[in-house]
Structure 1
């Protein structure tokens, strides 16, 4: 049976952020994820998790200047020290919130910039992040993101992400398989899940879902999610599946798709 984590950045926006934990628990979620926790003290978020019996599944390391349009710094030349500081800060939060997965965003590459240089920086930074996270039993995950939602994002394909993880070879570096992004860029979701779920030296460390093409509930759009959930179960995935979608209307009213799995 798949188990789902509500993404509190996108879901339950009818409520203030700290009130979304209770709303998710009331609807039957047992775990949550979100993009960034850094506007709030870690202890305050931990209290919301504890009060509502929730597990923290995942969050992102600081991504640079998000308000200015940055979408990660892991592949950006000249930002290496800032990246290391971001990893250290994320690990401090994870030590309190209790999650075992941490996502680091690759960042943007402008047309004409040397991709090889960005890739070399990216690999060195991922090596650092994985090594820093290993004593804390935390897995670093990297996510291919489609260029329709984030034009210029450095990492777009599942096979590229798996290759990068395989070349680094860290035991706690995996790919975050976002089915929404993968469908837009590549399609052939079932085959890629089967290919990559347990890949030597790499593999899938976290899964996220949303309907395609509008990123609403997973029962809306072109994908057959009941089939994909059965496949994910059959492949032995036991982690959380993050519901990183924008509800079409009220979050709770749109959860009919979830009820068979509670």
Structure 2
């Protein structure tokens, strides 16, 4: 049976962030994920996780200047020192919170910068991150993101991400397979899951095309959940969607899966 993690950045917007942990636990989630936990100290998050019996399945490394449009810096030439400081901070959080999956965002394609130069920066920084994360038993995740939601994002396709993983050859680098992004860019979700499952470290879901609950839109998620189980995936499936209304009221699709 699939195991779901509530994405607290997108879900439960009717609550303050710190209150979303309790809301997710009340709805039966046993794990949560988020984009960036750094506004709260690790002690606060650890208390919230412990009080509500939750695991923090995943979060992102610092992405650069998010408020001014940056979406990661791993592929940006000249930002290596900043990137490494961000990974150090992320690993401090991961160690304190028991999180074993860390998403490292690639960043945007830079005008006037050759693709090969960004590729060199990306591989070099990911290699460093993987080495730094190994001792903490953390897996570095890379995620293809669709260019409609995030124009000019540097990594868009599943085969590109798997090729990066192959070049690095690090056991603790894997691909974050977001069904929403993959459907928009490529489609053929089931075939790609089956093809790449050995290199997939985390899965996320949302309805397509509006990124609402997974019981809306063009994807047949009950079929995909059965397929994911049959492929032997045992990790969390992140619910990274924007609820149409009240989050709890929209969880009818998940009632059969949530165990509490």
TM category (shorter chain) comes to over 0.9
Partner of 1:76: 76
Q: Distance in 2 between matches of 1:113 and 1:150?
A: 19
Q: Distance in 1 between matches of 2:219 and 2:197?
A: 19
Q: Distance in 2 between matches of 1:140 and 1:38?
A: 18
Q: Secondary structure at the match of 2:210?
A: coil
TM superposition shift of 1:112:
4.1
Partner of 2:138: 138
RMSD over equivalenced CA pairs, Å: 0.6
Q: Distance in 2 between matches of 1:130 and 1:4?
A: 26
Partner of 1:106: 106
TM superposition shift of 1:222:
0.3
Q: Distance in 2 between matches of 1:75 and 1:110?
A: 9
Give structure 1 stretches of 5+ with no counterpart.
Answer: none
Give structure 2 stretches of 5+ with no counterpart.
Answer: none
Q: Distance in 2 between matches of 1:113 and 1:167?
A: 22
Q: Secondary structure at the match of 2:85?
A: helix
Q: Distance in 1 between matches of 2:166 and 2:73?
A: 21
Q: Distance in 2 between matches of 1:169 and 1:258?
A: 36
TM superposition shift of 1:113:
2.5
Q: Does residue 213 of structure 2 align to residue 227 of structure 1? A: no
Length, aligned pairs only = 258
Q: Distance in 2 between matches of 1:140 and 1:19?
A: 28
TM superposition shift of 1:260:
1.0
Match of 1:216 among 186, 205, 212: 212
Instruction: After superposition, give the CA deviation of every residue in 1:175-208 in whole Å (9 maximum; x if it has no partner).
Output: 000000000000000000000001xxxx000000
Runs (4+) off by over 6 Å: none
Relative contact order: is structure 1 or structure 2 higher (C-alpha 8 Å, sep ≥ 6)? 2
Give TM-score scaled by structure 2 length.
Answer: 0.98
Give TM-score scaled by structure 1 length.
Answer: 0.98
Q: Secondary structure at the match of 1:166?
A: helix
